[in-house]
A and B are shown apart, each in its own frame.
Chain A
Amino acid sequence: MSISDDEVRAMAKLARLAIEESDIPIYAEQVSHILELVGQMNDVDTTDVEPMAHPQDLVARLRPDRVTESDNRDAFQRNAPRTEDGLYLVPQVIE
């Protein structure tokens, strides 16, 4: 299984990763190697095998719907690269 330069560009777009044009063929080759490795899965017949999403076959635990957290905005925004008046700053989105 090999993957083309265009497919790498498409994946990079989906994953929001800027990749230098000169690095695209390198990624294509390396990703293809990984896909070759995982391609061994096709050697086995898995018809009627139920997919296993999780090690525990448990239902998700529910909790009462009540407030457990107070407002921690200041603490959280201490890690933000850019804030102003308690808001996160981003490049202009709407003209």
Chain B
Amino acid sequence: MSDQFPSSVAQLAAGLRDGEYSSVELTKAYLTRISEHDDALNSFITVCDESALAQARAADAAIAAGAANNLCGVPYANKDIFCTSDVRTSCGSKMLDNFIAPYDAGVVERLNAAGMVMLGKTNMDEFAMGSSNETSFYGRTCNPWDLSRVPGGSSGGSAAAVAASLAPIATGTDTGGSIRQPAAFCGISGLKPTYGRVSRYGMIAFASSLDQGGPMGRTAEDLALLMNVIAGFDERDSTSLEMPDEDFGRLLNKPIENARIGVPSEYFGPDLDAEIGALLERAIAEFEKLGATICEVSLPNSQLAIPAYYVIALAECSSNLSRYDGIRFGHQCENAVDLTDLYERSRAEGFGEEVKRRILVGTYALSSGYYDAYYRKAQQIRRLIKQDFVNAFDDVDFLIGPTTPDVAFTAGCHSSDPVTMYLSDIYTTAVNLAGLPALSIPAGQVSGLPVGLQLIGNYFSEAAMLGLADRYQKNSSWHLSHPSEICAGGPS
């Protein structure tokens, strides 16, 4: 972020271990940067000056005692969807404006155990429902490349914070693209792991069969380092994968000669911006030059992913959000005349428009007489979509394509018809329906705005995907581009 500190987590961690600077110095530098720049960006809902410095002092002591983990003392930004027992967890909603969780999320326990320093909780679409961060109760986050544009969503605060070097790395969650799309819009790297890799315990639920936490950072190497901290079995999450821990960085700096990469023809249709298409062709040629074999594949049911996704996600959302009753926690209305009035007004006042819209659609899809036509039908299509991927992975190891059909859009441009924004998820939702891992890395710019390249892998192939992305990044420089107006003059 400046001449004083390197920008990658790998280098920051090495500098801390070698005593070149302390975690307190590093943390103060980031907190200063946040205080100088976040008024313009609004990427944080809560900044944790005091607790961050306390964690940094503890990290410095652990490093001095030789008892430190790899990322001990490295600062990070935490999406405000992960419960933290000392800091308010709002999920971007008025409903949880006063909510302080009674426990830490599984992911937060792991970050704490690793000695990492939480700089603050990042802005997001309300309950992760949105693709632009515009549905946040705390106001929209601005894209650091162009403040009039959105950073993507729902993990838009995390993406903007990393892109503007207000944090070296961040957590995010991805239900239909909420890590990959903001990573693409902000010019950073983001990984949505295989469903079940990262614990959902204490991660506020939107659509439980699709939600998955993951890392957002500058490089594939940094994503691997954070995956090593946050991934792993958690018995308190009933869908957590019971698999042995693995080193997600084990395939970094390795040749990729044997990689077979498929290009789904459906992802390069008329929906895709022509300039993005041309940039991706160049990136694909680069992978070929690095030794990968490229071939065309087909995912014939791709166009059904958005319809099936929105039925399943909204049905699960309406069910999950029924817990907000205004009684046990969360917003409560004044002067309720009876219990029904208390429920109905607390929820109406606590939820924003997009959340209410989604609850209504989800309720409709699950209601008597419509279940078969909507929810069951969507689940059947979900299987067809998964089968498309299974068939493709018979022939190739990875799929490559765009993360988004266009670059970051201007704030407010979808406000008259919310459905038009749903279409920005056309290349990302299928992965969540199937439960596969996928990542987005920067692969160029159109009119000064970042373009994301998406890699999709087979189940449990994160390490290989990160190796492939690392190979590309070692031979390109898009991931090193910084937004100029925000990043000019870092701390000295």
Contacts and interface: CB of A to CB of B under 8 A. Distances in A.
Interface of A: 3, 7-8, 11-12, 14-19, 27, 30-31, 33-42, 44, 46, 49-56, 60-61, 63, 72, 75-76, 78-82, 88, 90-93
Nearest to B340: A16
Contacts of A8: 360
Interface string B375-413: 011111111101000000000000000000000000000
Given A11-B360, A16-B340, A34-B357, A46 B380 contact: yes
B289 interface: no
Contact of B337 (A30, A79, A91): A91
A34 B361 contact: yes
B307 A31 contact: no
B348 A56 contact: no
A47 to B, nearest CB: 9
Nearest to B337: A91
B374 interface: yes
B94 to A, nearest CB: 13
Contact of B209 (A53, A92, A93): A53
Given A14-B363, A46-B384, A88-B327, A40 B347 contact: no
Interface stretch (B97-105, B124-132, B290-298): B97-105
Q: Is the interface of B mostly helix, strand, loop or mixed?
A: helix
A91 B386 contact: no
B359 interface: yes
Given A37-B422, A81-B326, A52 B363 contact: no
Given A11-B367, A41-B378, A54-B209, A16 B360 contact: no
Contact of A17 (B195, B311, B351, B367): B351
Interface residues of B, number: 72
Contacts of B209: 53-55
Contacts of B330: 79, 81
A80 B347 CA distance: 15
Given A38-B311, A51-B379, A55-B209, A82 B347 contact: no
B345 A50 contact: no
A38 B378 contact: yes
Contacts of A51: 376, 379-380, 382-383
Q: Is the interface of A mostly helix, strand, loop or mixed?
A: loop
21 contacts: A3-B364, A18-B341, A27-B360, A34-B422, A37-B307, A38-B310, A39-B307, A41-B304, A41-B311, A41-B377, A44-B304, A49-B383, A54-B435, A55-B433, A56-B241, A61-B242, A78-B102, A79-B98, A79-B329, A80-B328, A91-B339
B58 to A, nearest CB: 24
Given A31-B361, A61-B235, 15 more contacts: A12-B360, A15-B363, A16-B340, A33-B418, A38-B378, A39-B307, A41-B377, A41-B381, A52-B383, A54-B435, A76-B329, A79-B100, A81-B326, A90-B339, A93-B339
Nearest to B420: A33
Contacts, number: 171
B268 interface: no
B379 A35 contact: no
Contacts of B374: 38, 41
A19 B241 CA distance: 41
Contact of B364 (A33, A35, A36, A53): A35
A15 B380 contact: no
Contacts of B347: 15-18
Given A30-B357, A55-B435, A91 B102 contact: no
Contacts of A16: 322, 325, 340, 343-344, 347
Contact of A80 (B304, B327, B344, B434): B327
Contacts of B351: 17
A38 B307 contact: yes
B344 A72 contact: no
B401 to A, nearest CB: 20
